[in-house]
Amino acid sequence: MFEITDKFYLNGKPFKIISGAVHYFRTVPEYWKDRLEKLVNIGCNTVETYIPWNFHEPKQGEFIWDGMHDICRFIELAQELGLYIIIRPSPYICSEWEFGGLPAWLLKDPKMRLRCSYKPYLDAVKSYYSVLMPKLVPYQTGNGGNIILMQIENEYGYYGNDTAYLEFLRDTMRELGITVPFVTSDGPWSEAGFKSGMVDGALPTGNFGSSAKWQFSEMKRFIGDDKPLMCMEFWNGWFDAWGEEHHTTEPEKAAHELDELLKRGSVNFYMFEGGTNFGFMAGRNSGNKTADVTSYEYDAPLSEDGQITKKYELCRDVISRYTDISEIPLTTKIKRADFGRIKCTAKTDLFSTLEKISEPVPSLYPLSFEELDCYYGYVLYRLNIRNNERVDNVRCENAADRVLGFRNGKYAFTAFAENIWEQFEISQKTCGGTVELLVENIGRENFGTGLEQQRKGILNGVKINDHRHFGFDMFPLPLDEEQIGNIDFTSGYAAGIPSFYRFEFDVTEPADTFLDTEGFGKGAAFINGFNLGRFWDIGPQKRLYLPAPLLNKGKNTIIIFETEGKSSDSIYLSDTNLH
């Protein structure tokens, strides 16, 4: 049994939690055991993970629990290695993850209020928890498993003060069989924020990356001297956004801060291994015009592809002062390989293959991504222009997030960030034909109070010649495996517009590699139908991590979807990462 009184106690004995965050949803399942073995070898006794709601219920009432989504298998692997487990199953997780883990279908309700006691939101949470919690119940310490703690909400004090909402989450989890102690986590430097995140029946913990002595002293002011101190998120690195610098924390500084923490309490590395925001699941932080990059390496002790770093070695030395470390053998064979340069074998532009991969949805007025049940990726909005109407200019009213405009299939303008509301003059002022608007969801905000404003697409209307145009055909483009498989590469190609490019190669022995998209502008890459994630030539990420388990022995296909009309006749698969 695990208990919290003046200290953490496991089976009646004091227990110092030395934990590391490993997100199963950011690592291919074939590598889960490798990352957990390396967690054991650094000296950790516990693993922590979030559970993102949108990862498991991508459409309302439709759940996924297999493959990369098999949280039970991840828990079982940790138990087999003797690790204890902290689960943070909050409806909201932040974690620089798309929409903070909330499912975008919640926004189909035009009155939706999130992270509070709005009944339709609470009903959706309870429905989800009624499926999730029974899966976790058998793995609690009281039932012979290794789950020792579960979190109620995540950094709620930064968001609001609806204590009744926190009580609802606490009571719902108890009703569904959760018996282990509860925790909350907030920043101790904000008294109002820290207190707003507290709720009876849960131990408050802190999230911070430095100044452990001061941070813990602040926490004592709020929770008293008779409770154990824990840093639930020891920020030993940081994340990156497109167009910004690559963030790092010196290994020596991280090791020093870890020592200061362990002198005073328990700790959870955030992150131990960062992993990858595969697909379109990278979030966007409040105030950033761009989203976070595909890599979630976080400058953690393990690199994105699981390599041991200097930070790992220095932190292991620190941990060895507080506990005996018994190394175990690493059982997963992992290799890197340089597969060289691969030539393009076929290409087609989006407009040529559009109706092979997406069916149009007609509507008098534009529909949002959420109304179209297209929660990620792109939507192409097509307007048919009357033969007696000339197109002089185009303006989008309230569009999110990035719009590429085309006139009769030729590039006309880009509307993004500061100029998203601008009126764009069309150089070829002709009558009839079409106006197409390719709208990209670059990632919903994952932090802050703007969560309810994260609907995507053209949300109000489109003005042509300064009056609203009605009559849309909308083509949802989530670019899921089915759509990628339906691309017709024989349908034609025009340069300078969004296009698909196919690259084929054979592999005798799969190995980890890194996809270099130099020469391409912005878009997403797919390996054998699996969405590796976004790329963008503005950096800082220059190559996409491609884990060996996503490769076939024999023939493999990479498809690049590029939106800016920039391309190369080859890609490169390197054994070296670049930032």
- C-alpha pair distances (Å), 362 with each of 359, 367, 372, 468, 494: 10, 9, 11, 17, 26
Q: What is the pLDDT of residue 428?
A: 86
Residue 190 has pLDDT above 90, yes or no: no
> How far is Cα 68 from Cα 6, in angstroms, rounded to an integer?
38
Confidence of residue 272 (pLDDT cuts 50, 70, 90): very high
DSSP 336: B
Which stretch of DSSP H or E encloses residue 33? helix 32-42
* pLDDT per residue as tens digits for the range 446-465: 999 999 999 999 999 999 99
Backbone angles phi, psi at 439, to 5 degrees: -105, 130
What DSSP state is assigned to residue 409? T
The CA-CA-CA angle for residues 334, 339, 340, to 5°, reads 145
Whole-angstrom distance, CA of residue 46 vs CA of residue 74: 13
Q: What is the pLDDT of residue 568?
A: 98
The predicted pLDDT at position 288 comes to 87
Please state, for a pLDDT cut of 70, what percent of the chain lies above it: 100
What pLDDT, on the 0 to 100 scale, is given for residue 62? 97
CATH classification of 365-470 is 2.30.40.10, yes or no?
no
Could you give phi then psi for residue 530, rounded to 5 degrees?
-90, 130
Contacts of 510 (CB under 8 A, 6+ apart): 548, 549, 551, 552, 553
Superfamily of domain 2-319: Glycosidases (3.20.20.80)
Please state whether the peptide bond connecting residue 540 to the residue before it is cis, i.e. omega within 30 degrees of 0: yes
Q: Measure the CA–CA gap between 519 and 382, rounded to whole angstroms.
A: 29
Q: What is the mean pLDDT of residues 16-38?
A: 98
For residues 43 and 7, what is the distance between their CA atoms, to the nearest angstrom?
Answer: 20
Q: Phi-psi region for residue 464, left (φ > 0), alpha (ψ -120 to 50) or beta?
A: beta
Q: Which pLDDT band holds residue 412 (cuts at 50, 70, 90)?
A: very high
Is the backbone of residue 177 left (phi > 0), alpha (psi -120 to 50) or beta? left
Query: Would you list the domain boundaries of the chain?
Result: 2-319, 340-345+481-574, 365-470
Scanning the structure block, which residue is given the tokens 């208990």? 3
CA 484, distance to chain mean position in Å, is: 21
Give dist(CA 397, CA 459) in Å, integer. Answer: 7
> Which residue do the tokens 């496991």 mark?
10
Fold agreement (2-319, 340-345+481-574): no
Residues forming a β-bridge with 346 = 502
pLDDT tens-place string over residues 480-518: 999 999 999 999 999 999 999 999 999 999 999 999 999
| CATH number of the structural domain 340-345+481-574 | 2.60.120.260
Place of tokens 């840093």: 231
pLDDT tens per residue, range 59-84: 999 999 999 999 999 999 999 999 99
Residue 286 has pLDDT above 90, yes or no: no
In this predicted model, what pLDDT tens digit does every residue of 36-55 receive, in sequence order?
999 999 999 999 999 999 99
Under DSSP, the state recorded for 503 is E
**Rounded Cα distance, 192 and 525, in Å:** 43
pTM of the predicted protein model:
0.97
Mean pLDDT of 412-424: 96
pLDDT of residue 90: 85
| Other Cβ atoms closer than 10 A to 464 | 18
Given the residues 155, 218, 260, 297, select the one marked as catalytic: 155
pLDDT above 90 covers a percentage of the chain that reads 98
108 in Cβ contact with 370 (< 8 Å): yes
SS3 21: strand
Q: Quick one: pLDDT at residue 287?
A: 81
CA–CA dist 396, 399 (Å, integer): 6
Residue listed under structure tokens 């069309």? 426
Based on the residue annotation, tell me whether 260 is a catalytic residue of this protein. no
Three-class secondary structure of residue 71 per DSSP:
helix
Structure tokens at 124: 């959706």
Between CA 454 and CA 443 the distance in angstroms is 9
pLDDT tens digits for range 337-371: 999 999 999 999 999 999 999 999 999 999 999 99
In this structure, what DSSP letter does residue 326 have? -
Contact 349, 47 (CB under 8 A): no
Instruction: Check 153, 233, 297, 370 and give the catalytic one.
Output: 233
Region for residue 160 given its phi and psi (left: phi exceeds 0; alpha: psi -120 to 50; beta: otherwise): beta
Sign of CA dihedral 196, 200, 201, 206: positive
Alpha-carbon gap, residue 149 to 147, rounded angstroms = 6
Residue 233 appears among annotated catalytic residues: yes
Strand order in the sheet with 361-363: 361-363, 472-477, 378-384, 434-440, 402-407, 410-416
| Averaged pLDDT score across all residues of the chain | 97
> Could you give the CA distance from residue 98 to residue 341 in angstroms, rounded to a whole number?
32
The full DSSP string for 180-223 is SPEEEEE-TT-HHHHHHT--TTEEEEEEESS-HHHHHHHHHHHH
As to burial, measured by CB atoms within 10 angstroms (0-12 exposed, 13-18 middle, 19+ buried), residue 539 is: middle
